[in-house]
Copies of this chain bind each other. A is one copy, B any other.
Amino acid sequence: MSRTSFLTESTALLERTPRVLRELLDGLPDGWLGEPDTAGGWTARDVIGHLISAESDDWIPRAEIILSDGTSRPFEPFVRFAHVERDRDATLDELIERFGTLRGEKLTRLNALVQDDADLDRRGRHPDLGEVTLRQLLATWTVHDLDHIAQVHASLAASRDEAVGPWKTYLGILLRRDGDAPAG
């Protein structure tokens, strides 16, 4: 995959995430929004808060460290619960808008930062994982989006865990909440 297509493909996915979340959640009745995906997991609100934190503190700051310091300066560890206090007074729709604005700004920055193919092979140092490339960071940014959108879907499904009755045995998105695999 050439530099252009990797960056283009990554951007095409990343720019969709706020739109997908808006289409799914904007105006959705509250009856869908109260449950976390698993016991101790996250509601849709929590996930958007986490995506806002990652947008501010994770992807682009780490890309900048890779390009400025290489492996000589490890990334800052990422705080996974920063959103809980910060977002207490915002509505879900406000959080989605905030995330969409941030995402737009960060994609503009990404496309300014990455000049050519060789940049994607530049290396940095993750505090736990060791050496990583900018290409791996970008791939992880996109898969992290996909993982958390899927988690939002699991949290919505959780609010119907009992209502589906005996059909639950066919519904992997509910069975995984209990640590089970789907039947058949």
Contacts and interface: CB of A to CB of B under 8 A. Distances in A.
Determine how many copies of this chain the complex contains: 2
A84 interface: no
A53 interface: no
A74 interface: no
A34 to B, nearest CB: 12
Contacts of A150: 149-150, 153-154, 173
Nearest to A147: B173
Interface of A: 1, 5, 8-9, 12-13, 16, 19-20, 23-24, 27-29, 31-32, 126, 129-130, 132-133, 135-137, 139-140, 142-144, 146-147, 149-150, 153-154, 156-157, 160, 163-167, 169, 171-174, 176
